[in-house]
Amino acid sequence: MMAWKWRWLLVALLLAAAIAAPLGQKSYIVYVLTSWLVFAIAAMGLNLTLGYAGQISLAQASFMAIGAYITALLTLAGWHWLIATPLALLACFVVGLLLGYPALRVKGHFLAFVTLAFNTLVFLVLRNEEWLTGGSYGLSGMPRPDLGLFTTMRPLPFYYFTLAITVVAALAMWGIVRSPWGRAFRALRENPIRAESLGLDTRRITLLAFAIGSAYGGLAGALVTSLVQFIEPASFGVGHSLRILLMVVVGGAGSFFGPFLGSGVVILLPEVLRFTEGYYLIIYAVLVIVMLVYAPEGLIGIGARLKAKFFSRSQVRADMSQGATLK
Amino acid sequence: MTAPVLSVRNIEKRFGGIRAVRGVSFDVHKGEILGLIGPNGSGKSTLFNCILGQLVPNAGEVAVSGRDVSGMRPSDLNKLGVGRTFQQLSVFPRMSVLDNVILAGQEHRGTMTSRLFGAPDAGLTQDAERMIAFFRLTHLRDELAGSLSYGQQKLVDAAMAFMAGPSIVLLDEPAGGVNLTMLAHLKDRLVAYNAEHGTTFVVIEHNMEFVMSLCTRIIVLAEGAVIAEGTPDEIRSNQTVIDAYLGG
């Protein structure tokens, strides 16, 4: 019980830090912090698909693209962001569900290639269908959400708007991973054959893992539309999917807070290292490589390892203290 | 007369030119503990996998309580009251013992919607604790299943197979790799569960002492076909069985 109290206290402190962080900062810093929140949402979605359910996907950026373009087209047509975004999420959920079907037949590296091909397909459609997407020139001038008394036109209000959306998305994810669905996702990752033998419909759970993860990607895309107010296909290429994958792995795949840490490292660390001028990308790359070598389970895993080292306990082996023979 | 809990009719399974299972038929009745033995490569596990939907047989039928379940998916079979354990360790290593056992029951409770919006434990914590206590694992309730000893994981596996209250459980080499102390404990629990709930068991096993002391009836397979059937005493003295095992 105490552990939970400490955990909630930590969450409250982190939330307070997130509220205080942009105060008094220049627009660029507020933009970077908002990007961190947006990518944390995208990484949360991939963390469900990959980290909890064990289904590799290299297509998260394509779902950001689908979410971003649907929101952009609808808001440019005069729809409110709050109406356009649920439709974009629904579209991503359905497309994610369809992308999940190959996962019922192929696993591991083969599934990675299928999702990679899907990301490339989405990129090509966005680039070639100029009549709808603006092609390589993209779409621009999307309005930010106007909530009546609270307008998000300025960077700071938009940051708080994004923070509120992130909190809601995180609470929804918390509800999912704590529920029996979350247990089913983890069972799918750890031992799908055993899970199936216990009555779990692994096909349905696999499809849901893709669909929900994709909807989170769509939400991140909808926020990118308003954050940057300009979208183009190159912003959603395979490289960006790999970047989101890096966020999940660096933070700790299958851990609730991993995506926040991982996106923090991938988005914020290069900015922190900018004082090193031309060397910052080299230092950043070396830090990530060292971390992945020494903590392959991610930043969250370092904490778990320290806990195991300093608070280790011997396991009770009742079988060794009993004596019995077959009758 | 009530239908057998499990009825297997003329199951045939070929892998290329090899006939792994050759027209095997048998019935298992309520409360029975049936042993399925045979030398390595005799087709026991293949037969199990055909019964349990992991493999599609080339011919034959399987019925559970009179209902044809041939070709049914393992998850649907489980919902009809068929539990199983695996030859290899089959717990969810990064989940606690309690979560492993709750998982084994949650798909039998409520709907998909209630499993998303309802209680995180699907209201199963007390039932799971009772099952954990039955297998005398209470002291390991919150441990990660992957951190337990081999024998303890076998017990967790059994607890999971029983959690949904199945009418029949198929146990694939439950004694394999388990030390003598833990084996006695496992046998004691299986007998107790059978006595308390009248659950039917089908057990594949190589450990003759274990299978002879546990089972009420034994079927012997060799080269994919049934070569003998009877009580443990009859099987012990059956010359065909002795020849099959010794290569005579």
ipTM: 0.92
Question: pLDDT (tens digit, 9 = 90+) per residue, A129-142?
Answer: 999 999 999 999 99
Residue A283: inside a domain, yes or no? Answer: no
CB contact under 8 A, A318 and B139: yes
Q: Name, in order, each residue with C-beta under 8 angstroms of A181's C-beta and a sequence gap of 6 or more.
A: A205, A208, B115, B116
Distance of residue A318 Cα from the nearest chain B Cα, in angstroms: 8
Q: How are beta strands B33-37 and B67-68 bridged, if at all?
A: unpaired
Residues of A in contact with B54 (CB under 8 A): 193
A179 inside 8 A of chain B by CB: yes
Do B170 and B48 form a contact (C-beta atoms < 8 A)?
A: yes
Work out the pLDDT band at A320, boundaries 50, 70, 90.
Answer: very low
On the question of pLDDT at A326 being above 70, the answer is no
On the question of pLDDT at A267 being above 90, the answer is yes
Residue A21: inside a domain, yes or no? Answer: no
Structural domain boundaries enclosing A32: 27-237
Residues of B in contact with A4 (CB under 8 A): none
Question: pLDDT (tens digit, 9 = 90+) per residue, A235-266?
Answer: 999 999 999 999 999 999 999 999 999 999 99
The pLDDT score that the predictor gives to residue A313 is 60
Mean pLDDT score, A30-53: 97
User: What CA–CA distance (Å, rounded) separates B246 from A51?
Assistant: 50
Q: Which of residues 148-177 of A touch B (CB under 8 A)?
A: 175-176
Total tally of structural domains belonging to chain A:
1
The pLDDT score that the predictor gives to residue A166 is 98
Min mean pLDDT across A191-200, A294-303, B38-47, B227-236 is at A294-303
The pLDDT score that the predictor gives to residue B246 is 65
User: What CA–CA distance (Å, rounded) separates A22 from A17?
Assistant: 9
Residue A68: inside a domain, yes or no? Answer: yes
Residues of A in contact with B185 (CB under 8 A): 319, 322, 324
A201 inside 8 A of chain B by CB: yes
Q: Name, in order, each residue with C-beta under 8 angstroms of B118's C-beta and a sequence gap of 6 or more.
A: A179, A180, B110
Residue A83: inside a domain, yes or no? Answer: yes
Do B84 and B161 form a contact (C-beta atoms < 8 A)?
A: yes
Residue B135: inside a domain, yes or no? Answer: yes
Instruction: Give Rg (Cα) of chain A.
Output: 21
Please state the pTM of the whole predicted model: 0.91
A23 inside 8 A of chain B by CB: no
Question: pLDDT (tens digit, 9 = 90+) per residue, A43-66?
Answer: 999 999 999 999 999 999 999 999
Low-confidence ranges of chain B (pLDDT < 50): none
B208 inside 8 A of chain A by CB: no
Looking up residue B24, the CATH number of its domain turns out to be 3.40.50.300
Structural domain boundaries enclosing B231: 6-246
The pLDDT score that the predictor gives to residue A314 is 53
Mean pLDDT score, A281-285: 83
Min mean pLDDT across A121-125, A282-286, B35-39, B94-98 is at A282-286
Residue B1: inside a domain, yes or no? Answer: no
The pLDDT score that the predictor gives to residue A271 is 87
In the predicted model, what is the mean pLDDT of chain B? 93
CB contact under 8 A, B116 and A179: yes
On the question of pLDDT at A325 being above 50, the answer is no
A80 inside 8 A of chain B by CB: no
Total tally of structural domains belonging to chain B:
1
Of A175, A196, A326, the CB nearest to B187: A326
CB contact under 8 A, B75 and A197: yes
B136 inside 8 A of chain A by CB: yes
Distance of residue A126 Cα from the nearest chain B Cα, in angstroms: 35
In the predicted model, what is the mean pLDDT of chain A? 91
Q: Strands (DSSP E) along B115-194, which ranges?
A: 168-172
Residue A186: inside a domain, yes or no? Answer: yes
Residue B20: inside a domain, yes or no? Answer: yes
Nearest CA in chain B to A188: B92
The pLDDT score that the predictor gives to residue A82 is 96
Residue to mutate among B79, B101, B116, with most A CBs inside 10 A, is B116
